[in-house]
Amino acid sequence: MQLRPNQRLKLDETDDKLFYAYPRFVTHVDEGFIQQLTDLYRDRLKPNTRIFDMMSSWVSHLPEEMQFDHVEGHGLNGEELARNPRLNHYFLQNLNENPQLPLPDEDFDAVLNCVSVQYVQYPEAVFSEIYRILKPGGVAIISFSNRMFFEKAIQAWREASEAQRVELVKEYFALVPGFTTAEVIAHKSTLPNLLQWLGAAGGDPFYAVIAYRS
């Protein structure tokens, strides 16, 4: 499965760098989601390893007690990345313009992407790059909820149900030979849809799709 051209479209087709030019020092998911993500990182990441935090921001949600050899950050807003205390280094790059990462082959033990996969227009290329930079046995963790900047999410994501979005990310991994079969962690919200959209505490569903480089 590869996305059709119309499935890659965004409602706002202006330059992504303009949309993200102004820093947003907020968290885009609730505390319950963040705790589940941090617990997942604590379980799947190993200390003293190399981490690539793709499409990051001013916070990486890594466990405070875990130390890593190097955490490389990436995003589109330098002010946000500069404030992230876990990053040893970062760079700016629009993956929808150029998905090729300026990073060596087999250099990272883990690649993380938190609540940003919905904005990737060329996931085939981006997930190939994730595979390329992972060490053998390295893990990729893609996490998301039901929140998004609607105008910047691709059509395939906007029009999908939550379950279909999980399947979409599984397909992204399956497109790249050499990834293990993707594992899914899904904790759906028990709140009514209206309360979820109003941002009620505990309302954010938590999804993570995980695969390893064989």
The candidate with the shortest Cα–Cα distance to 89, out of 99, 100, 75, is 75
CB hemisphere CA count around 200 (13 angstroms)? 10
Q: Is 185 helix (H, G, I), strand (E, B) or coil?
A: strand
Give the pLDDT confidence score for residue 25 in this predicted structure. 43
Is residue 36 a contact partner of residue 206, using CB atoms and an 8 Å limit?
A: yes
Quote the CA–CA distance of 159 and 150 in Å, as a whole number.
11
Q: Is 213 left (phi over 0), alpha (psi -120 to 50) or beta?
A: beta
Which phi and psi angles does 69 have, rounded to 5°? -65, -40
Give the pLDDT confidence score for residue 3 in this predicted structure. 94
CB hemisphere CA count around 48 (13 angstroms)? 0
How does DSSP classify residue 161?
-
Kindly give the confidence (pLDDT) of every residue in the chain, 214 residues in length, as a single tens digit, with 9 standing for 90 and above.
789 999 999 999 888 777 776 666 456 678 888 999 999 999 999 999 999 999 999 999 999 999 999 999 999 999 999 999 999 999 999 999 999 999 999 999 999 999 999 999 999 999 999 999 999 999 999 999 998 887 999 999 999 999 999 999 999 999 999 999 999 999 987 666 655 555 555 578 999 999 999 9
Quickly count: other Cβ atoms within 10 Å of residue 55's Cβ: 20
Is residue 132 a contact partner of residue 105, using CB atoms and an 8 Å limit?
A: yes
Please write down the long-range contacts of 194-198, taking CB distance under 8 Å and 24 or more positions apart: 196/146
The candidate with the shortest Cα–Cα distance to 104, out of 128, 134, 74, is 134
| Residue with the two structure tokens 């505490």 | 201
